[in-house]
Amino acid sequence: MTDVSLEDIITELVVNGGNAKSKAIQAIRSAKTGAFEVAEQKIREANESLQKAHQFQTELIQAEAREEKGTTVSLIMVHGQDHLMNAMTTRDLAIELIEVYKLIHHK
């Protein structure tokens, strides 16, 4: 694995996944009040966090492919993956809800 430990990589999945999910929720709340520029900015911020998390996830996958020690599936690894997947789903739903709120606010 790179100079980053497995624990550090998993921590980055959790942190960046959590940040992305929070930004997506903020985007929904902004759109609800009609602040669509803020909502779009929050989605961009969520995407940045998801991109970072994805880079760390790729490191895990590559380490496993190289059959490096310490890449066995653990509860904390599953927890990190769970954070990432939930963040991605929340972001996707936020994008859809922003469009719905745009329709509502423009009528």
Please write the tens of the pLDDT for every residue from 49-105.
999 999 988 888 887 777 766 667 778 888 889 999 999 999 999 999 999 999 999
Amino acid at 83: H
What's the pTM value of the predicted model, to 2 decimals? 0.87
Contacts of 14 (CB under 8 A, 6+ apart): 79, 80, 83
Please answer whether residues 1 and 70 qualify as being in contact, where contact means their C-beta atoms are separated by less than 8 angstroms. yes
Which CATH number is associated with domain 6-101?
Answer: 1.20.58.80
> Annotated binding residues for Mg(2+), as ranges?
82
Distance, CA of 41 to CA of 98 (rounded, Å): 12
Catalytic option among 79, 83, 105, 106: 79
Catalytic (active site) residue 79 = yes
Instruction: Classify the phi-psi angles of 67: left when phi > 0, otherwise alpha if psi is within -120 to 50, otherwise beta.
Output: left
Q: Which residues are known binding-site members?
A: 82
